[in-house]
Amino acid sequence: MRERGRRNANFILPEAKGDDMKKLLFAVALLAGCATTSTEQASDQTSRGGPGPTQEEPRNDGKNTENMTTFGMGYDLKMYSPLSQINKSNVKRLVPVWNFSLSNDMGELSQPTVYNGVMYVVNGNWTFAIDVATGRQIWRTPVVYDRAVLRIANAGAIMRGAATIYNGKLYRTTLDAHVMALDMKTGKEVWKRKFAEHTEGYKGVVAPLLANGVLITGTTGGEHATRGFLVGWDPETGKEVWRTHTIPAPGEPGHETWPKTADSTPDAWKTGGGSTWQNGSYDPQLDLVYWGVGNAAPYDPKYRGGGDALYTNSVLAIRPKTGAIVWHYQFTPNDMYDVDGSNENVIADLRVDGQMRKVIINANKNGFLYVVDRTNGKLIAAHPMTRVTWATHVDLKTGRPVLTDVAARLTAGEEVELYPQRGTNAIMFAFNPKTNLVYLNTWDLPRIQQFVPYKFQKLGEPSTAVKGRNPVVKPDDVVGHHLAMNPLTGQMKWKIPITDIPNGASVMATGGGLLFTGRPTGEFIALDEETGKTLWQFKTGSSINAPPITYTHKGQQYVTVLSGLGGSVVKRFVGNRVPTGGSVWTFALMPE
C-alpha cells in the first residue's frame, strides 16, 4: 500500500489538512525559531550543567536517559539506546526542532554529550555549551593552537570522540598535542598540558577517556615517524600519572618483534608508528580499558625488520590507574596495508558454545569483524564483513590471518590492488544486546599501492614509504554496504548496497527498531532494523560523518547529530559535490 503523506526535499511530512496543518507547521517553526548562535554567554543558563558527572554516572549511561555523558553512549561503546518513543510506526513524523551553527569548515566528526539540560559539543576549533531545549548558546570557547600544525594535519583541525565531562570540568585535546580542562559552567580554561611536540608529528584529534578516576589520552601521527603512546592524567590538576608506549623499548616484552636487519632503519622502534587515534572503551568490573593501536610505519616492512611489529595493529587491555598492559591481541601482524587496529572495541556479553562470555567486538579496517575474550585476549571468532583479498581467513587456533600472495607481491615491488581499502572508515557501529547483531556501514573499494624507497632523516617526517592512487568510481558503482551481521557466525541478516560515494557515518540502534546513520551527501536517515529499508530521511547542509545520539529532555525523546564534511578520506571521494560547514541538528516527533 502506498504511504499517504507529502514528501518534500528534506523529510516525509504526514498528511494533515487545514487548521491542523497550520498548527503543526506553526509548532515546528516555533521550536526551530528558538535556535540561536549568539556569541554572548547566556548568564541565566550558567547554573545548569555543573558540577558535572561523578565517576558512577558514566557507568549508568542509558539508565538516566536525560543525560548522555560518554562517547559511544556508554563505556561499552554499543551505540545503543533502549528509547522507543521514536519508532518504526511514527518516525515519519520526525522533524528538526533546532539547528546550531558550529562556525567551522574543517569537519564535524564528534558526538555531543548531554548533562542536566546542557549539550556540550567539540570540534577542532571550538568548544560549545548549548541549551538542549532551545539550541541557544550558553557559552563558546575558541581552541587556541599553533596553526603551523595544520601543515602536517591531512584532515585539518578535527576532533573524534566527544566532549569528555567529569566533576564540573570538560576535557578535550587540541591539534597541536595538548590536553586541557575547561569549566563546564563558563567554558574558561582550568588547566592545559602538552603531551608531545607537534613538530615531531604528534597531534591531538581524539577525545580523552575518563576511567577509574584517570583521564586517558591518545595521539595520532602514525604516518610521520612517531612512536605511539597513551597518557594517564590526574583530571583535577593535569599532572601526568603514567605514559605507556605502544611500541616496546629494548628489554620490554614485544621488542623482539622489531629485529635489526640490513635494510631496517636504525632504532626503527622509535619511529614505528602505532598511534592511538581512535577512542577506548572501559569495563569497570574488570577495571580494564581497551584501546586500539594504529598501523606500523613505514608501510614497507623491510625498513622495520619484517617482524610482527608489536603492538601496532593491536588492541591493548590496560589498567587505567597504572597504564600497565594486561594483555594484547594483534589483528594484523607486520601490517603493510595501512589497515590499522585502532577501531573502537565494543564491550558485550555473548553466549558462546552454551556459556556466557565477556567479549569485545572489533570492526577492523582490515575487513574482518573480530570477537575477542575481553578477560584474556583470546580470539573467539573472525569473519569478513566486506571483500578481503590480502588474507583468506583468520586461523582461530593461532589468531593470525592466513595470507594470500598480496604481501609477497608488495614486497617484490609490484603495484598491487587489494581489498579492502578499508573495511570501515573510522566509524562507530551499533550493537543491539537484544538481537546480538552488529549494524555497520562497510566499504567495498580496493587499495592500490606500491612501495617506494625511504631513508629516515628526522622525527615527524612523512614515513609511509608508499605511493598510491584511488580507484575509479563510476556512477551507480557499489562502493560498500549497510549491513546487519551476527558477529559469532558471520551470517548477514541483510545487506543493502551503498553506491557512488563510500559511507563515513556511524550507526546508532534504538529500542524503537530503528538504525540512525547518515550519508556523505548530507542526508540523515533512519533504517528499519529488521530489513535495512530506509524509513525516513532529512537533508542537512553538509556531510554526515559524526555519531548520532538519542536522549530525553523532560520525558520527550530527541535525536541529535552533527553535520559537516570532514576527514581526509571522505573529502577525497566527495570532492566539491558537498559544501563544508558544521552544524548541530536536533530532531523530535511532530505532535499528532
Catalogue the active-site residues: 338
- Cβ atoms of 225 and 217 closer than 8 Å: no
Chain mean position to CA 134: 27
Task: Kindly state the helix (H) or strand (E) to which residue 325 belongs, with its residue range.
Answer: strand 325-330
- Cβ atoms of 173 and 179 closer than 8 Å: yes
Rg (CA), the chain: 23
Sign of CA dihedral 63, 135, 143, 568: positive
- Other C-beta atoms closer than 10 Å to the C-beta of 461 total 16
Torsion, Cα 312 313 317 318, to 10 degrees, reads 30
Taking each continuous run of H as one helix and of E as one strand, the counts in the chain are 4, 42
Dist CA 3 CA 15 (whole Å)? 10
Dist CA 464 CA 332 (whole Å)? 17
Per DSSP (E only), the strands in 471-543 are 478-485, 492-499, 508-510, 514-518, 523-528, 534-539
As beta bridge partners, residue 496 has 482
- Cβ atoms of 97 and 586 closer than 8 Å: yes
Q: What angle do CA 43, 44, 47 make, to 5 degrees?
A: 90
358, three cell numbers: 565477556
